[in-house]
């Protein structure tokens, strides 16, 4: 019963790990291209990141299929928990699931951070002009979630300056 399911989980985890490593490599390249101000290269790599992220989204559906499979153990809400509930030694696969899970979480964090940084870099010129001109601008973020009061410059850039 569970051998076919664990085989499917193994294949899933291997493919997910490979995709996450590819995104990791691309994110490292984005950082290098951003620091070197290589705009054309950065755009090409960002396109590849977008394609890989779309692939990663497909893994969510596959994961749900594995969790709801008739062959899957009934106890547990995650692949790791279901594997742990099986009889026998599935420790290597459980550890691989946890390892890939950490990698996906790291890639997610870095992708979001890269997006935020690129957003602010894209707005840098406008913010600089507002600061120099002394124009009123609404801050980008507030610490406590309250509406921010307009002030000179561009909020986050002011804090950095």
What's residue 89's pLDDT?
Answer: 86
pLDDT of residue 94: 94
* DSSP string for residues in 97-142: HHHHHHHHHHHHHHHHHHHHHHHHHHHHHHHHHHHHHT-EE--S--
- Among candidate residues 102, 84, 103, the one with its CA nearest the CA of residue 93: 84
Q: What does each of the 161 residues of the chain score in pLDDT, given as a tens digit?
A: 468 999 999 999 999 999 999 999 988 887 665 555 667 777 788 788 888 888 888 998 999 999 999 999 998 999 999 999 988 889 999 999 999 999 999 988 888 887 777 777 777 777 777 777 777 666 655 666 666 565 555 555 455 54
């Amino acid at each position: 019963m569970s051998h076919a399911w664990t085989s499917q989980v193994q294949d899933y985890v291997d493919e997910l790990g490979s995709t996450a490593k590819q995104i990791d490599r691309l994110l490292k390249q984005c950082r290098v291209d951003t620091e070197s101000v290589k705009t054309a290269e950065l755009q090409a790599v960002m396109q590849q990141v977008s394609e890989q992220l779309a692939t990663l989204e497909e893994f969510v559906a596959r994961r749900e299929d594995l969790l709801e499979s008739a062959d899957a153990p009934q106890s547990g809400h995650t692949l790791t928990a279901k594997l742990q509930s099986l009889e026998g030694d599935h420790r290597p696969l459980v550890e691989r699931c946890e390892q890939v899970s950490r990698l996906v979480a790291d890639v997610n964090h870095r992708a979001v951070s890269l997006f935020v940084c690129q957003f602010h870099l894209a707005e840098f010129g406008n913010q600089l002009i507002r600061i120099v001109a002394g124009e009123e601008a609404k801050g980008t973020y507030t610490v406590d979630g309250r509406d921010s009061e307009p002030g000179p410059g561009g909020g986050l850039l002011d804090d950095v300056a």
